[in-house]
Amino acid sequence: MTEETPGFEEKPDVPSGATSDDAAEAAESPSVEEGAAAPAGDANQTGQSIGLTAQLDQTRTALAERTADLQRLQAEYQNYRRRVERDRIAVKEVAIANLLSELLPVLDDIGRAREHGELVGGFKSVAESLETTVAKMGLQQFGKEGEPFDPTVHEALMHSYAPDVTETTCVAILQPGYRIGERTIRPARVAVAEPQPGAAPAAKEEKSADEENGGPEEG
């Protein structure tokens, strides 16, 4: 058995002929295997970074697509709500118009009774309550004597000529018209009068004669 000498340290193998400085450099320099391990670790880290970046890009793309889908779905829902609200209002207006149309003959009877002075007592209270109720529901009466005839809101039942009108005019309201907002439930049924034929040309001829004579003669 050999005895180990205390304090003895193994020295790296030094080729024959090498100096002591070469031996020190050989002891301090890392081996070839240790130096080659560092570039392999850097490559692994670079590959992991590229993979994480790709996953992050995919996640961002998927998030943008889901966000766009959610915004489109929200817009479709808002359009659906508005369409349902419009349909609900339209159905309500049609139902009210149909109901009030059935009450127009009753309102006509009330109007004739008022004209003949027969709207008295309890009948008067009931009639006024009915008129107040239909007014709250949006029913409006229209049609007055002396207003110009408008075929979009007037229905002419009688026709005549009058010397004191300059255009087709409603001279009598046979039945008042009714509307709800812009919707006409019933046109006003009227008697109309037109200017007498030849009245306007005669007036123009008289005016022309006065202009040729230098104006009307002073009395």
- Which residues lie below 8 Å from residue 219, measured CB to CB, with a gap of 6+? none
- pTM beyond 0.85: the answer is no
What the block records as the tokens of 135 is: 């007014």
Asked whether the beta carbons of 189 and 158 are under 8 A apart, the reply is no
Classified as helix, coil or strand, 127 is: helix
Write down the pLDDT at residue 127.
94
Tokens standing for residue 9: 């340290």
| pLDDT per residue as tens, the chain (219 positions) | 444 445 445 555 545 555 555 545 555 554 444 444 445 567 777 878 887 888 888 899 999 999 999 999 999 999 999 999 999 988 988 999 999 999 999 999 999 999 999 988 889 999 999 999 999 999 999 999 999 999 999 999 999 999 889 999 999 999 999 999 888 999 999 999 999 887 654 444 455 555 555 554 443
Domains annotated on the chain, with CATH: 140-213 (2.30.22.10)
Q: Produce one character per residue of 40-52: b if its CB has 16 or more CB atoms within 10 Å, e if not.
A: eeeeeeeeeeeee
